[in-house]
Amino acid sequence: EPEVTQTPSHQVTQMGQEVILRCVPISNHLYFYWYRQILGQKVEFLVSFYNNEISEKSEIFDDQFSVERPDGSNFTLKIRSTKLEDSAMYFCASSVNPRGMENTEAFFGQGTRLTVV
């Protein structure tokens, strides 16, 4: 069964360092998303991406964050200068279509646990 894959599963980084979280969405999906989940809290939307541009982003997704689809399969989230409060589980998701159409459900990856020390 197709699935969203994320690497690495766990990333430890020093405060102020740049990190890149990687995702391979399901191959026929066209819409890509990043969410994060701080330990014990709810899942929060960061950004959605379609046709090589951001469709929507949240207040969390400030200038320190960026996304990119560098090739036909990968979708990355970059945090330029990590802060302690960036420590969270980061989930990539993808869907065939956006809401309002058929096949709109988003499928999530297993997540990357980011720990900023």
Partner 1 sequence: GESVGLHLPTLSVQEGDNSIINCAYSNSASDYFIWYKQESGKGPQFIIDIRSNMDKRQGQRVTVLLNKTVKHLSLQIAATQPGDSAVYFCAESGGSNYKLTFGKGTLLTVNP
- Residues forming contacts to partner 1 in the complex (CB under 8 A) are 4, 31, 33, 35, 41-45, 48, 50, 55-56, 58, 91, 93, 98-100, 104-111
Min dist CB 115 to partner 1, Å, is 14
Contact 104, 51 (CB under 8 A): no
Nearest to 80 by CA among 89, 68, 71: 68
Min dist CB 22 to partner 1, Å, is 15
Nearer to partner 1, 81 or 104 (CB): 104
What totals of helices (H) and strands (E) does the chain contain, helices first?
0, 11
Min dist CB 7 to partner 1, Å, is 13
Nearer to partner 1, 47 or 79 (CB): 47
Nearer to partner 1, 17 or 104 (CB): 104
Half-sphere exposure of 17 (CA within 13 A, CB side): 12
Contact 104, 96 (CB under 8 A): yes
